[in-house]
Structure 1
Amino acid sequence: MRHDDAYHWPPELLELMIETVPRLIRSKEGVITFLRGAGVSEQLLAPHWALLASDPTKVNKFKIARSVLGRLNEQGDTALGVRRALLKRVTEFENFSSCWPEDQLKAEGLVAQIRKVVNAKDSFTRMQQERDTERRDRLAAHQTERKKAEARRARFTDLRNRLAVLFKEDDPYARGAGLEVLLNDLFATDGVSIREAFAIRDEEGVTHEQIDGVIEVDGNQYIVEVKWWGKPVDIEPMSRQIVRVMSRPEVRGLFISASGFTKPAVGACKDFLAHRVVMLGELREVVLLLEREADIAEWVREKARQATIERLPLVLLGEDF
């Protein structure tokens, strides 16, 4: 059976219908009425009514069926509803006692064959629909991924441009604040949960602690400290970061500096690794992440692996990874 066109009956089904319909109905008038009941237009039936009225002897039930059903099949999707209604009426036919006695067994066998063909066609149609649905879903997923990739590239372009502007900023405070915001946006690009800068104040409103931000990667929370100074970060600001981490159970630390770290600062972090995970990063790593459009969450994971397994708080992307 061919299924080249879902809107037409295949030839074997058309022939079965032509053989069956006249055997289900005893009279010539009944055949025309049966067709009209399924929705066949009066335009198709009019010539047969006229011939039946003028010369009934020239009317043949099988010729009526061949003429009308053949025309319906040629109409393609415009007659799809009528053809479906005809198939429904035929396949649901149960009382063959209304047929001529000599046609009863033949009609019952033909209806059984039509049901088999229709079931096979329905199975093919369902499989085709499933394949079409799968293909549409696959294309939609591809389009979604493509749009996400385009949006991500645009986001990285914007971040690179903003970082380039920060390099021209002379005010250290404005530079550092701008880098905090940029890093928050970089983390958000890859879906990392973030909490932006906030202050811890007492009941009188006095600030006791300033947190540049908090991120969460794989269920681990990191207090983030960001500095863009003209000299390497020394032991004092590093100690404050260690205290912030130590005063919060299970929290880790990530310190990012634009000017690197002194040996005492790195050493303090390495000693503290016996108690809690603290990682150090440099601005040049952020620049490289932006250039490569890399996943910053994976950067955090790799730093955590180096800190916990190798006991190295400072490893640099592009050099030590």
Structure 2
Amino acid sequence: MRHDDAYHWSPELLDLLVDTVPRLSKSKDGVLTFLRSAGISEAMLTPYREQLKIDRSAVNKFKMVRAVLGQLNEQGDQALGVRRELLRRVVEFQEFSVLWPEDQPVARGLIAGVRDIVNTKDAFTRMNQEREAERKERLATQRAEQEEKSRKKRRFQDLQTQLASLFKLDDPHVRGIALERLLNEIFASSGVLIRDSFTLRNEAGQATEQLDGVIAVNGVEYIVEVKWWAKPVDIDPMCRQLVRVFNRAEVRGLFISASGYTAPAVDECVRALTSRVIVLGELRELALLLEREGDIAEWVQEKARLATLERRPLALLGVDF
């Protein structure tokens, strides 16, 4: 049987108990009663009771206790509860007045020694338990982080697959709607707050304005416009987007194009930067972002920073930063 200090008495503690327990009762029968009250089985004590009936003088209290406690210590985990109960009864013993006068000071000193060992052992056990709890918590955190990392990787791979599949769509309208939905998923994967595309109508119910969507990054709202055209986005559609932004206080603009922008469109955005933050992005940036497993919120913030400080609304990921 494997010996483990967390469950078995050490030799030092066993010797102290052998010296202590026989002194906690004046009689040999009283010692057996003390052992029985701690939960030691009657079967283990019966041989000594029989010896006492035959010849009391032949029974030595200390040898008897050593034999019983040694046997108890060899029972391993099976006798854990009994060993703990016996220790408890020893360290909590207070009835020194019932002992032989010469045994009283000795018993006090021995019990103090047992308490010191038990307290040290308990402190060591608690320390080990705390260390084990910390280890388990650390491992659980590492597993959770690894699972989250794997989940995030699978998510980016899925988004990459979806984006690649859009290039197979021939209908521009269907492709545009699919891209808007995919962008919502990409934004959501980074925890960006999203409001899907919506239409503003007048009192007669007629559509007056169509917005592809609105996102909130770091507490700032952006009106999002997405285009997948065969040609670069020119100044006219860009101006319409700028009007939508300027008609709303404290709102920024994010324009994403699959085909780039004409120079006049970019120049118009540069002029608009004097009053409002306008960010231009390209679809290839999103593809690169997914490949790098990057954060789209950080992407938007960096582009907004470059647009504000360097007056570059079209700073491209992988080229300018």
User: TM-score by structure 2 length?
Assistant: 0.94
Distance in structure 1 (CA, Å) of the matches to 2:41 and 2:247: 85
Q: Specify every segment of 5 or more residues in structure 1 that has no aligned partner in the other structure, as ranges.
A: none
CA distance in 2: counterparts of 1:253 and 1:70, whole angstroms: 82
| Aligned pairs (5 A) from 1:2-17 | 5-17=5-17
- Per-residue CA distance 1:194-249 (angstroms, 9 max, x = gap): 22223333454433332222222222222221111111112222223222222333
2:248 & 2:114 partners in 1: Cα distance? 76
Query: Secondary structure of 2:313's partner?
Result: coil
1:271-290 residue CA offsets vs partner (Å, 9 max, x unmatched): 11122211010001011112
User: What is aligned with 1:74?
Assistant: 74
Kindly provide the amino acid, as one letter, of the partner of residue 302 in structure 2.
E
Show structure 1 runs of 4+ deviating over 4 A.
none
**Which residue in the other structure is 1:311 paired with?**
311
Trace 1:143-158 onto structure 2 (pairs within 5 A): 143-158=143-158
Matching residue of 2:54: 54
Q: How far did 1:69 drift?
A: 1.5
How high is the sequence identity, in percent, across the aligned residues? 62
**SS state at 2:102 partner:** helix
Shift of the 168–14 alpha-carbon distance from structure 1 to 2, 3 Å rule, reads: same
Amino acid at match of 2:38: A
| TM-score, structure 1 as length reference | 0.94
Aligned AA (1:118): V
* Structure 2 counterpart SS, 1:279: strand
SS of the equivalent of 2:226 reads strand
Deviations 1:14-41 (A, max 9, x none): 1111111111122212212212212222
Aligned-pair CA distance for 1:52: 2.5
Deviation of the 1:47 alpha carbon: 2.1
Which residue of structure 1 aligns with residue 250 of structure 2? 250
Distance 1:116-1:270 versus aligned 2 partners, 3 A rule? same
Shift in CA distance, 238/97, structure 1 to aligned 2, threshold 3 Å:
same
Give the aligned partner of residue 289 of structure 1: 289
Letter in 2 for 1:281: G
> Using the alignment, how far apart are the partners of 1:212 and 1:54 within structure 2?
102
Aligned residues: 319
- Residues 112-133 of structure 1: CA deviation (Å, up to 9, x unaligned): 1111111111111111111111
Equivalent residue, structure 1, for 2:226 = 226
Tell me how far apart the structure 2 counterparts of residues 200 and 10 of structure 1 sit (CA, whole Å): 82
Q: Which residue type is aligned with residue 51 of structure 1? A: Q
Q: Deviations over 1:50-104 (max 9, x none)?
A: 3233332222221222122212222222221111111111111122111111110
Separation in structure 1 between the aligned mates of residue 58 and residue 202 of structure 2, nearest angstrom: 106
Cα distance change, pair 315–60 in 1 and its aligned pair in 2 (3 A): same
Counterparts of residues 1-321 of structure 1 (less than 5 Å): 5-321=5-321
Partner-residue secondary structure (3-state), 1:29: helix
In structure 2, C-alpha distance between the alignment counterparts of 1:206 and 1:89, rounded to whole Å: 89
Alpha-carbon offset, residue 174 of structure 1 = 1.2
Distance 1:221 1:26 in 2: 87
**CA pair 223-42 structure 1, distance change in 2 beyond 3 A:** farther
CA apart distance, 1:139: 0.3
Displacement of 1:172 in angstroms is 0.9
Change (3 A) 1:37 1:264: same
